Amino acid sequence: MNATDDPTPDPAAPAVFRLGYVPGVTPGKWVRIWRERYPRLPLELVSVEPAEAPAALRGRRLDAGFVRLPIDRTDLHAIPLYTETTVVVVPKDHLFAAADTLSAEDLADELALHPLDDTLDWAAAGLARPPGRPALERPATTEDAVQLVAAGVGVLAVPQSLARLHHRKDLTYRPVTGLPESQLALAWPEEATTDRVEDFIGIVRGRTANSSRGRRTEEAAKPEKSGKPARAKAAGSGTAKGGGGGGAKGVKGAKGKPPAAKRAGGANARKGTARPRRRPS
């Protein structure tokens, strides 16, 4: 289902946490943890194009989503997660395939493809477009640009995750220095920071199930049952009210007086060490 779809909600349907993600992002690790901790709350993954993600979040078609920065943060919260390496995609028989790392200057004589859905912020790097000779037309999508690279028409600079997403056996890619990098973030509507969103933020931040900053999981929230009987208070404490031989009265005897043997021992203790009796001669 595309994030732009807006189906009429079914009141009888169970609550669903709708998580968006842009191409190249692999949220599987976080989704797996969610399903382990909250098995009764379904999570629906929704693929969304980078340009559509902010509107899908503001329109509440998504509870949260993985997006590429920069985005318009009006009415949106965003937690930056990590920055991706920028690579250049080339045919396997290209001269660049023999290099470990390239620089922006290395691309100067290459035909540089610049798709309309490009997510790299060239303006932030002081560039109007990718370095190199501009193509006559801009491909509509990154996937289209990859097809042109495979046909021997130019090279393409993209975040590494997109190079992996559109990988082909006849293509390879190499890291490039001096180009803007793509930053991934978790975003959600500013006025919709629900418990479910807080729970997912906790998972992304690596909080444990019983973290004080996040809600406890369904299993952890259940009261503990130790199965062990309560430990009886020590005999002779004088605070227990129960009767019987195990209670305080059973130790002290009637009216709280200690037994006779204990009184005798106590008398000797008060007088000091008792003198031994002399044996008859």
User: Do residues 37 and 119 share a domain?
Assistant: no
User: Do residues 112 and 170 share a domain?
Assistant: yes
Q: At what angle do helices 28-37 and 195-204 cross, to 10 degrees?
A: 130
For residue 188, tell me if it sits in a domain: yes
The terminus-to-terminus CA distance of the chain in angstroms comes to: 112
For residue 9, tell me if it sits in a domain: no
* Tokens, residue 271: 């007088």
Q: What is the pLDDT of residue 76?
A: 95
Q: What is the number of structural domains in the chain?
A: 2
pLDDT-derived band at 156, boundaries 50, 70, 90: very high
User: Do residues 64 and 39 share a domain?
Assistant: yes
**Residue 134 burial (CB count, 10 A):** 14
Rounded to an integer, what distance in angstroms lies between the CA atom of residue 246 and that of residue 240? 10
Sequence-distant (6+) residues with CB within 8 A of 174 are 87, 88, 90, 96, 97, 99, 100, 101, 102
Domain extent, residue 25, equals 17-83+183-204
For residue 274, tell me if it sits in a domain: no
For residue 257, tell me if it sits in a domain: no
For residue 193, tell me if it sits in a domain: yes
Say if strands 102-103 and 133-134 run parallel, antiparallel, or are unpaired: unpaired
Q: What is the 3-state secondary structure (H, E, C) of 89-100?
A: EEECCCHHHHCC
Task: Please report, rounded to a whole number, the percentage of residues in the chain having pLDDT higher than 90.
Answer: 62
pLDDT higher than 70, residue 78: yes
Residue 262 phi/psi, 5° resolution? -70, -35
Once rounded to an integer, what is the mean pLDDT over residues 204-227? Answer: 58
User: Do residues 53 and 100 share a domain?
Assistant: no
Q: What is the pLDDT of residues 25-41, one digit of tens each?
A: 999 999 999 999 999 99
For residue 259, tell me if it sits in a domain: no
pLDDT-derived band at 276, boundaries 50, 70, 90: low
Q: pTM of the prediction?
A: 0.68
User: Do residues 162 and 150 share a domain?
Assistant: yes
Sign of CA dihedral 223, 226, 228, 232: negative
Rounded to an integer, what distance in angstroms lies between the CA atom of residue 131 and that of residue 102? 12
User: Do residues 157 and 138 share a domain?
Assistant: yes
User: Do residues 22 and 149 share a domain?
Assistant: no
For residue 52, tell me if it sits in a domain: yes
Cis peptide before 139 (omega within 30 of 0): no
User: Do residues 161 and 93 share a domain?
Assistant: yes
User: Do residues 78 and 101 share a domain?
Assistant: no
For residue 76, tell me if it sits in a domain: yes
User: Do residues 118 and 57 share a domain?
Assistant: no
Q: What is the pLDDT of residue 215?
A: 53
CATH code (residue 101): 3.40.190.10
User: Do residues 100 and 150 share a domain?
Assistant: yes
pLDDT-derived band at 275, boundaries 50, 70, 90: low
User: Do residues 56 and 133 share a domain?
Assistant: no
